[in-house]
């Protein structure tokens, strides 16, 4: 299967943590990525994790990977209004020429 | 250039006309990718180039779609006899090579077929 799935919407209050979840089906995934898309803009690479890692932290971002369950999450600590955007997870498969399969995106809304 | 540049940023065309979308990757990036982002469809892969060759064209939706890359740099995506279902944002991305993780995306071309 080639599906990468995400929930469509998430709403949080400013200062809270946001957790965006993603599931994928292909066990040959080598790297998994999180991209951010602001209105009218292209996608910006936020972070990535190699499939043999469980966790990666980068400032306010924490990526957790459960390879057994094929579940990926992105936690944003101290969420700010500037974090409002669509977040896409994507996976890269072995031998895929770095081609990515994207999820449908999760729209994060940060409320004051 | 400093980033991936796409032109035009917006294109409105009549059904049945041909359109050309252009992508100028980051200088020195050998890998170039085209994706399409439509409402309700998410991001779908179209084609990628390693240098001037296209090892994977599997995502092109029909034979009305073609792409080329010359000189290992600029790429054009051509859609012939456009249909309304071709309306979408066409995103281009580049990376140093197919072995580098993560791409840099351009801002996209919004195509509207009326």
pLDDT at B57: 87
Asked if residue B52 has pLDDT above 80, the reply is yes
pLDDT tens-digit readout, B19-46: 999 999 999 999 999 999 987 677 899 9
- Judged by CB atoms closer than 8 Å, whether chains meet at B102 and A48 is answered as yes
Query: How close A93 comes to chain B (CA, Å)?
Result: 12
- Judged by CB atoms closer than 8 Å, whether chains meet at A42 and B107 is answered as yes
Asked if residue A84 has pLDDT above 60, the reply is yes
Q: Are A2 and A99 in contact (CB under 8 A)?
A: no
Mind giving me the DSSP string for B30-81?
-EEEEEEEETTTEEEEEEEEETTEEEE-TT--STTEEEEE-TTS-EEEEESS
Place of tokens 């469509």: A8
Q: Are B107 and A41 in contact (CB under 8 A)?
A: yes
Selecting from A31, A43, A99 the residue whose C-beta is nearest the C-beta of B48 gives A99
Selecting from A31, A35, A97 the residue whose C-beta is nearest the C-beta of B48 gives A97
Which of A24-38, B9-23, B68-82 comes out lowest in average pLDDT? A24-38
Asked if residue A96 has pLDDT above 80, the reply is no
pLDDT at B40: 67
Cα(first)–Cα(last) distance of chain B, in Å? 33
Q: How confident is the model at residue A99 (pLDDT cuts 50, 70, 90)?
A: confident
Q: Average pLDDT of chain A? A: 91
Q: Give CA separation, A21 vs A73, B27, B29, B65, B102, in Å.
A: 4, 35, 31, 34, 20
Asked if residue A1 has pLDDT above 60, the reply is no
pLDDT at B2: 77
Asked if residue A100 has pLDDT above 80, the reply is yes
Selecting from B43, B99, B100 the residue whose C-beta is nearest the C-beta of A88 gives B43
- Judged by CB atoms closer than 8 Å, whether chains meet at A42 and B102 is answered as no
Those residues of chain A whose CB sits closer than 8 Å to some CB in chain B are: 31, 33, 35, 40-45, 48, 88, 90, 92, 96-105
Which of A45-54, A84-93, B39-48, B67-76 comes out lowest in average pLDDT? B39-48
Task: Report chain A residues whose CB lies below 8 A from the CB of B98.
Answer: 97-98
Distance CA B91, CA B45 (A): 10
pLDDT at B75: 97
Q: How confident is the model at residue A62 (pLDDT cuts 50, 70, 90)?
A: very high
pLDDT at B16: 98
Query: How close A3 comes to chain B (CA, Å)?
Result: 11
Distance CA A84, CA A109 (A): 5
Those residues of chain B whose CB sits closer than 8 Å to some CB in chain A are: 4, 31, 33, 35, 42-45, 48, 50, 55-56, 91, 93, 95, 98-108
Distance CA A75, CA A83 (A): 12
- Judged by CB atoms closer than 8 Å, whether chains meet at A43 and B91 is answered as yes
């Amino acid at each position: 299967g080639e599906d990468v799935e995400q929930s469509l919407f998430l709403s949080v209050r400013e200062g809270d943590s946001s957790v965006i979840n993603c599931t994928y089906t292909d066990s040959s995934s080598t790297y998994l990525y999180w991209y951010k898309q602001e209105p009218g803009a292209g996608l910006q690479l936020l972070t990535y994790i190699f499939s043999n890692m469980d966790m990666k932290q980068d400032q306010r971002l924490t990526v957790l990977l459960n390879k057994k369950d094929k579940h990926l999450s992105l936690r944003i600590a101290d969420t700010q209004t500037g974090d409002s955007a669509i977040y896409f997870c994507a996976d890269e498969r072995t031998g895929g020429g770095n081609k990515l399969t994207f999820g449908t995106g999760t729209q994060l809304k940060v409320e004051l | 250039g400093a980033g991936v540049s796409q032109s035009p940023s917006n294109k409105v065309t009549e059904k049945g006309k041909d359109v050309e979308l252009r992508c100028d990757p980051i200088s020195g990036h050998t890998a170039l990718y085209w994706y399409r982002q439509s409402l309700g469809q998410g991001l779908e892969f179209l084609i990628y180039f390693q240098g001037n060759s296209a090892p994977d064209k599997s995502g092109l939706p029909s034979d009305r779609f073609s792409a080329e890359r010359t000189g290992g740099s600029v790429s054009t995506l051509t859609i012939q006899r456009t249909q309304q279902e071709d309306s979408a944002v066409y995103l281009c991305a580049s990376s140093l090579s197919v072995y580098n993780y993560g791409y840099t995306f351009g801002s996209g071309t919004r195509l509207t077929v009326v």
